[in-house]
Amino acid sequence: MKKYNVAVLGATGAVGQELLSLLQERNFPAAEIKTLASARSAGKEIEVAGISYTIEAATPESFADVDIAFFCAGGSVSKELAPAAVAAGAVVIDNTSAFRMDPDVPLVVPEVNKEAIFQHKGIIANPNCSTIIMAVPLWPLHKAAGIKRIVVSTYQAVSGAGKEGMDELREQVEASCKGVEVEPKVLPVGSLPKHYPIAFNLLPHIDVFDEEGYTKEEWKMVNETHKIMDPNIAVTATTVRVPVYRCHSESVNIELERPLSPDEARQILAEAPGVKVLDDPEQMLYPQPLMLEGEDDVYVGRIRKDLSVPHGLNLWIVGDQIRKGAALNAVQIGEVLAKEGRGI
């Protein structure tokens, strides 16, 4: 199999490190792996899954000879460096929101719209974490019975705010054990003037506020679902940060065009790629975020008929935010490119 030169931009972050780990774990056909970050980290050695990498400062010149570049730094870094990477001949798999809604950029969850990958013009976007985790199990149900409307409420882990978010929860919990106070500095949104505690709390505020009183995170769930799955699905979302480390959970209510019983839904989901059904109330089995850290699949349970509409279902969906919600989905896109050898 052909091997590819790979770059990971944002290699010092939570997603970057998970991505490096996944490239090894999944035997990604990499000839070389270049680890890039801001100039501040240049020269730093990091060790991921037993392998040492030396961080290089990311510049527009970093991408000569790179075939596939995973971008896991912020949106502004992607906007600045992706054009240079593409000009140098790399395919950029971008984990930020910078290009997701660009009509020239495919937005891909491989289990849903793998073929869109090959329409890329240099950049392929990895969707928002909460959107990916919802799309993987909803897609096979949509194909089976046509989803008309989605009402989703999320329970999102602090890993969505990166290492800083995870450190902040840990710090606040440790302070509470010592009976001291610690000033919140990161959540809900690092760049905003006010910060609130997340330990023993909930923050109904992920990413900045946007039109109509919705946050950008909520709009991402609407707009990205339209782009990945189907623009005809009506979607409304409420996104909430919870004191959980790294799995996102979602309470999802769907209205379908055609009847679909919970048993039929379970059977469809049991056969769907990237999905595991964990749904046995009698045995007290249902997805729990603490139990599913590090899992690749999206887990679905609490599948019930919604008795308030003709063809409705309620589902409880849990997936690892750093893996399927970010790094794994990006690596899977890279694997499709590498396997098909097209478009690189």
- Binding site residues, a second copy, CB under 8 A: 149-151, 153, 155, 173-174, 176-178, 188, 192-194, 196-197, 200-205, 209, 212-214, 222, 234-236, 238, 240, 242-245, 249, 251, 253, 262, 281-282, 284, 286-291, 301-309, 312, 314, 316
Residue whose CB is less far from a second copy, 103 or 194: 194
Residues 57 and 36: beta-carbon distance below 8 Å: yes
From the CB of 99, what's the least distance to a second copy, in Å?
24
Q: How far is the CB of 277 from a second copy (least distance, A)?
A: 13
| Cβ at position 206, least distance to a second copy in Å | 12
Say which residue the tokens 């997805």 belong to.
287
| Residue among 50 and 213 whose Cβ is closer to a second copy | 213
Among residues 80 and 171, whose Cβ is nearest to a second copy? 171
DSSP 59-98: -GGGGTT-SEEEE-S-HHHHHHHHHHHHHTTPEEEE-SSS
Angstrom distance (rounded) from CA 7 to CA 47: 16
Active site residue 311: no
Give Cβ neighbours of residue 19 (< 8 Å, ≥ 6 apart). 8, 70, 72, 327, 330, 331
Structural tokens at position 327: 């790094």
What residues pair up with 20 in beta bridges, in sequence order? none
What percent of the residues of the chain are helix, what percent strand, and what percent coil, each to the nearest 5? 40, 25, 35
> Which residue in the list 120, 142, 205, 248 is annotated as catalytic?
248
Active site residue: 129, 142, 205, 311, which one? 129
Structural tokens at position 49: 């899954």
CA torsion angle 173 179 183 185 (round to 10)? -10
Q: Rounded to the nearest whole angstrom, what is the least distance from the CB of residue 13 to a second copy in the complex?
A: 21
In the bound state with a second copy, the residue whose beta carbon lies nearer, of 50 and 193, is: 193
Q: Can 129 be counted among the known catalytic residues?
A: yes
Contact 113, 78 (CB under 8 A): no
- We find the least distance from the C-beta atom of residue 322 to a second copy, in angstroms, to be 15
Nearer to a second copy among residue 161 and residue 303 (C-beta) = 303
Task: Show which residues are catalytic.
Answer: 129, 248
